[in-house]
Amino acid sequence: MDEWVRNAASEIARHAERELEALVAVSSPSGDVHGAEECASVCAALLPAEADVERLACSSPGHAPDLLATLRGSGSRRIVLLGHVDTVVAHAHHKPLRRDGRRLLGSGAVDMKGGVVLALGALRALAERRADFAEATLLLVCDEEWRAAPFAHAERFAGWDACLCFEAGELTPHGDEGVVVRRKAAGTIRIHARGRSAHSGSAPDRGRNALLALAEAAQAVAARHAPDGPDHLTAVPTVLHAGEAFNVVPGRGELSCDLRADSDAAILGVLETLPRELDGVVLEPELVRLWPGMSSEEATAPLLARAGAALGRPVVGVRRGGASDASHFAPLIPLTVDGLGPRGGKAHNPGEFVHADSLATRAEVALAVIDAALAPLSRSGAR
């Protein structure tokens, strides 16, 4: 293993569990300004002293500003490290970090405060080799989980040399270190229903039932679910609201559906085929979110080969269905790699956890990929 990778990873691992405990202690559901500000304060305290800190307007209105920390050096390479501090866990269900054997359990531990801790440690490690880059930047956003607005920051980094995102890591079925180089496009369809209310006992047939129409629309979306098909499309109705009283025909309602596919076109195809009227109920489908897919396999293959050499064990590109902000950067930065965070499981669930041992091993992976991204200078003897 490369000496810098080994030593810097050991230093990150020495602090990582306590830093993760501090970050998970903050309840930060997406959209909560106070929680995001608390997370920003914790992260700022863990940044290298040499970093310049900015607060950028968040992509989502009404959110706290995002955090940008930049190290400037004397080299030529420019790399951006990427993460988010928001979770999907409401304050009432928040759980601080606790150890259960070899697992560290807590809200947002794996998605993705564990990755944020490794990214902060990586930036501290980079402070020691500023001859190898012109800029090394860490961007932490506070709206990744529920963002519907366009992403505001990708153009700022267009043409940079590498984007490295710290969502959760994994092992391949063969036990190799996996990093994410392909993700599906992600879309959210929302369907508004306008029917007619009526008394459900004395005049039910005068009503136009928005709930039943939305239930039929949900079935239409679910019928397009084809994860083994050519587009690997998943189409899942997720939220339904209709009705205000138990004895009134629902006159209005709303359905949300989550879709993932290899291409944007497959998601748009579902939207186009949805009915606009059912049994006198007007249906108004709209696409409220569309994130691009990510396909970095070919561009990152040499990078991952160099990373494996620095690590002393293979680093393998894998695909993942979940969405990530890395997908917004991939069209502008060909060397985009995701999944550099620690390993764990049960993201978005009460039992969410990080494998404690992986804080060290995945720090090694992340630093090896960073070392590979700096290779044009570091291999020429500048370090």
- pLDDT of 293-350, one tens digit each? 999 999 999 999 999 999 999 999 999 988 899 999 999 999 999 999 999 999 999 9
Give the three-class secondary structure for 236. Answer: strand
Please give the average per-residue pLDDT across 92-108, as a whole number. 97
- Helix or strand (DSSP H, E) at 359: helix 358-373
Q: Which helix (H) or strand (E) holds 111?
A: none
Q: Does domain 185-291 have CATH number 3.30.70.360?
A: yes
Crossing angle of helices 297-311/358-373, nearest 10°? 120
Burial of 92 (0-12, 13-18, 19+ CB in 10 A): exposed
Query: How confident is residue 148, by pLDDT bands cut at 50, 70 and 90?
Result: confident
Instruction: State residue 305's pLDDT score.
Output: 97
Q: What is the mean pLDDT of residues 280-285?
A: 98
pLDDT per position as a tens digit, 152-170: 999 999 999 999 999 999 9
Residue 375's pLDDT band, with cuts at 50, 70 and 90, is: confident
Mean pLDDT of 242-265: 96
14-18 own/partner pairs: CB under 8 Å, 24+ apart: 15/121, 16/117, 16/118, 16/121, 16/359, 16/360, 16/363, 17/104, 17/356, 17/359
Type and span of the H or E element at 281: strand 281-291
What mean pLDDT is reported for the chain? 95
Region 3-184+293-378: CATH code: 3.40.630.10
Confidence of residue 382 (pLDDT cuts 50, 70, 90): very low
pTM of the model: 0.90
**Rounded mean pLDDT, 97-121:** 97
pLDDT in tens, 192-206: 999 999 999 999 999
Query: Are residues 164 and 369 in contact, defined by beta-carbon separation less than 8 angstroms?
Result: yes
pLDDT at 380 over 70: no
Could you give the residue ranges of the DSSP H alpha helices within 62-183? 114-126
- Residue 323's pLDDT is 85
Residue 376: which pLDDT band, with cuts at 50, 70 and 90? low
Q: Is the pLDDT of residue 72 over 50?
A: yes
Q: Is the peptide bond before 112 cis (omega within 30 degrees of 0)?
A: yes
Q: Domain segments of the chain: what residues? A: 3-184+293-378, 185-291
Q: Which residue has the tokens 């390479």?
A: 77
CA–CA distance, 141 with 273 (Å, rounded to integer) = 35
- DSSP structure class, residue 201: T
Average pLDDT on 238-258 reads 97
